[in-house]
Amino acid sequence: MTAIINAAQLVGESAGTRPPVLLDVRYALGGPPGRPEYEAGHLPDAVYVDLDTELAGPPGEGGRHPLPDVAAFGAVMRRAGVSADSPVVVYDGGQGWAAARAWWLLRWTGHRDVRVLDGGLAGWTGPLSTEIPAPEAGDFSPVAGSLPLLDADAAAALARDGLLLDARAAERYRGDVEPIDRVAGHIPGAVSAPTTENVDEDGRFLSAERLASRFAGLGAADAKEIGVYCGSGVSAAHELLALEIAGFQAALYAGSWSEWSAAGDRPVATGPDPR
């Protein structure tokens, strides 16, 4: 099954006999919660899910957006109407990072039918609603482990022996700037692969062929294992989605740079060279 869906396809499926559960996960890094924007207008029947409090655990040793408690995540999904056999479509404001985080979490916990609305709300041309839905509770029971996951030690090993992609902006990878975390730079051996280069000027994913060519050029075609990290495990999920579209499976380092740099005793590389 494809990992993305476009607006026209979503219109058709929503009018069909098995309409997907819609999740609105609008989010802006460092910005206000997306709930007010959701209440001002969202896709009809979409349920709002908060990234900071429902798609992540409390910040701490696991980074700024550690993975949520699996049982708590399951409760959120059931409240939103998600069942084990229900198709799910996730969208955000258009950047795709938050939607990809929700997509990855659902896939990681065993849901098999979840897609991201390509281009997000920005690409939606249909009507919006201000009505807050109250869906019938779903029966989804999450079980972690359906997708590969890395801790800091595994990420370090993969940077040496496989391919570890850094999905942050190139200037953060090089260590030219660091607006969020305490240390600038990257994990030694990681390869710069800004997630912004996975999409076109409208925020829609490049074709599978173009993405496959991009990742092959970064070493994915020859790598036995691939991993991805970013600042806190959010934009990395977008890179994982792009890799899946391109035909590659990769593991997420959920703690990402926020966990790695906070430890204070892990090596740091700077400049354009991986090492």
Q: Which residues are catalytic?
A: 230
166/174 Cα distance (integer angstroms): 11
Long-range contacts of 74-79 (CB under 8 A, 24+ apart): 74/109, 74/140, 74/141, 74/142, 76/49, 77/106, 77/111, 77/138, 77/140, 77/142, 78/137, 78/138, 78/139, 78/140, 79/47, 79/137
Burial class (CB in 10 A: 0-12, 13-18, 19+), 141: middle
For residue 221, which amino acid is it? A
Q: In the block, which residue shows the tokens 């934009």?
A: 235
